[in-house]
Amino acid sequence: LAQGYTCACNAGWSGSTCATKSDWCSGHSCHQYGGTCVENAESAGFGYTCSCAAGWQGAFCDTKQDWCAGNNCDSYSGTCVPNADSQPKGFTCTCLAGWQGSTCATKQNWCSGHTCHQYGGSCVANADNVPMGYTCSCSAGWSGSMCSVKSDWCSG
């Protein structure tokens, strides 16, 4: 007390005359998983906040983000796969056979572009019939997997 007084420093300042700005980010723990420290004197007691890298969250960026929590993958036809690189969602949906789209909510049209009808056959969608996903129902006089074999009525 050589000066006869003491200074009560505001947040972010230190020293006998409060002239030294505090280095809030010195020794911070934001960088553990790629976060960066941002000085902020108003931040709840720390004097800094952490700006987290993709895939991390929390006050100190030390909690791995659960990308699949609340995802939009169809619960019947899709499975969420976390993937921090697939921004902005952070996940991809893996679809069951017969389903497609970013959330696996679109039933695949197995009969699109089929050739069953070339000789009067019709397409019957069947997701279990891998790899085609359909079978052909042939009209009279035709056979084969694509209804392209003409039946020989005269033989036998």
The SS3 assignment for 34 reads coil
Q: Is the pLDDT of residue 44 over 60?
A: no
pTM for this entry: 0.47
Task: Return the number of other C-beta atoms located less than 10 Å from residue 152's C-beta.
Answer: 9
List, for residues 11-32, the tens digit of each pLDDT value. Answer: 667 788 888 877 777 777 787 7
Amino acid identity, residue 89?
A: K
Q: What is the pLDDT of residues 87-129, one digit of tens each?
A: 566 788 899 877 888 888 888 877 877 778 777 888 887 766 5
Encoding tokens for residue 121?
């056959």
